[in-house]
């Protein structure tokens, strides 16, 4: 009879640490965060030495947020003061997260809405909201990523078949306007729009239905919530965390409050009735890139053509037209792939 190997729970923090640093990349990451040599981690795990300062204990616990519970329990007998300090900081972290949007920030957004002109108003409100939200959620400085996607209406049908990425921001970095990738019914963001309510994944072990461009982000959980006003939808806010089970009810309430502010970034005609939303499957990002590579050229061409014919067309409207053309091409690409599969 073949023996079955049973994985036992670690009995000491040293044993637990030893399991963690079997992953060489994780070992290197921890050594860098703690400012110590990798051999020091080996000595801690083997019991030949111990952390010399409470700061190292606190840093180790903070560097492993997904294992903080069990690691705190195992380390508390040896380092009661240091573990107690981290527990106290964690309670403060929760309180800071569930607090509401700061009143001065509301005032700043309202001032921008009242005084800025398009397209500066849209860019400024989105920029401010994404930065403030990521900063408020990322109290432990492990990184929060926020992506804003807008409903993309087809110029042929007027219906919304996809979402287009407008802005993305990672806490501690500048808000960026990256490739305007399209996402559809296959995505978590698309699901939130179709159902009209937030969609949450508390544990993510693979990219799954999330953007391919996030492959270098330590993604563990995600939440997408529709940007809605009076029952009509303008897009989705996608929030990504490096922690599992991050999106508690309190945090989702904070996210929703920022979404209320984001509604001020969109014009009335950019909100769509639910009857107009008909998301389709979209091609993967790597398949989109060769088409999106010409996006700015298309926008410039449409803008110049309008000028030559004395037609009124803003740069933002030219972007929407160019995006609609690309979306149509991507839809045809997906349809051809589906037809080929059916024929096989």
Q: Residues of the chain with pLDDT > 90: what percent?
A: 38
Mean pLDDT of 27-55: 88
List pLDDT tens digits, range 169-226.
Answer: 988 776 665 677 889 998 999 999 999 999 999 988 765 545 555 556 788 899 999 9
- pLDDT reported for residue 91: 47
Span 27-34, average pLDDT: 85
What predicted TM-score, i.e. pTM, was given to this entire model?
0.65
Beta carbons of 146 and 237 less than 8 angstroms apart: yes
Instruction: Report the helix count and the strand count for the chain, using DSSP H and E.
Output: 13, 6
Mean pLDDT for the chain overall: 83
pLDDT of 234 reads 97
Q: What are phi and psi of 253, to 5 degrees?
A: -65, -40
The model's pLDDT over 273-306, given as tens digits with 9 standing for 90+, comes to: 999 999 988 877 777 777 777 777 888 888 888 8
Confidence of residue 56 (pLDDT cuts 50, 70, 90): confident
Altogether, the residues listed in the chain come to a count of 344
């Amino acid at each position: 009879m073949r023996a079955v190997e049973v994985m036992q729970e670690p009995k000491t923090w040293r044993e637990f640490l030893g399991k963690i640093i079997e992953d060489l990349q994780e070992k290197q990451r921890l050594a860098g965060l703690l400012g110590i040599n990798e051999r020091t981690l080996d000595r801690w795990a083997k019991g030949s030495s111990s952390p010399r300062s409470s700061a190292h204990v606190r840093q180790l616990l903070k560097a492993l947020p997904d294992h903080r519970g069990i690691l705190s329990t195992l380390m508390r007998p040896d380092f009661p003061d240091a573990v107690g300090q981290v527990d106290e900081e964690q309670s403060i972290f929760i309180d800071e997260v569930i607090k509401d949007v700061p009143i001065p920030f509301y005032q700043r957004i309202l001032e921008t809405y009242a005084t800025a002109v398009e397209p500066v108003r849209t860019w400024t409100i989105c920029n401010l909201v994404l930065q403030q939200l990521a900063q408020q959620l990322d109290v432990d400085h492990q990184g929060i990523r926020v992506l804003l996607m807008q409903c993309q209406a087809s110029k042929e049908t007027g219906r919304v078949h996809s979402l287009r990425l407008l802005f993305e921001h990672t806490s501690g970095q500048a808000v960026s306007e990256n490739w305007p990738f399209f996402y559809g019914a296959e995505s978590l963001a698309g699901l939130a729009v179709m159902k009209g309510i937030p969609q949450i994944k508390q544990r993510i072990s693979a990219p799954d239905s999330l953007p391919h461009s996030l492959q270098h982000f330590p993604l563990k959980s995600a939440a997408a919530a529709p940007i809605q006003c009076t029952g009509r939808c303008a897009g989705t806010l996608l929030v990504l965390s490096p922690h599992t089970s991050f999106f508690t009810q309190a945090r989702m309430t904070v996210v929703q409050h920022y979404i209320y502010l984001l509604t001020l970034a969109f014009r009335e005609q950019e909100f769509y009735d639910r009857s107009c939303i008909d998301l389709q499957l979209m091609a993967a990002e790597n398949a989109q890139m060769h088409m999106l590579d010409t996006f700015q050229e298309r926008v410039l061409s449409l803008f110049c053509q309008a000028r030559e014919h004395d037609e009124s067309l803003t740069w933002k409207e030219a972007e929407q037209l160019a995006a609609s053309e690309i979306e149509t091409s991507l839809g045809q690409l997906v349809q051809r792939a589906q037809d080929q599969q059916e024929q096989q």
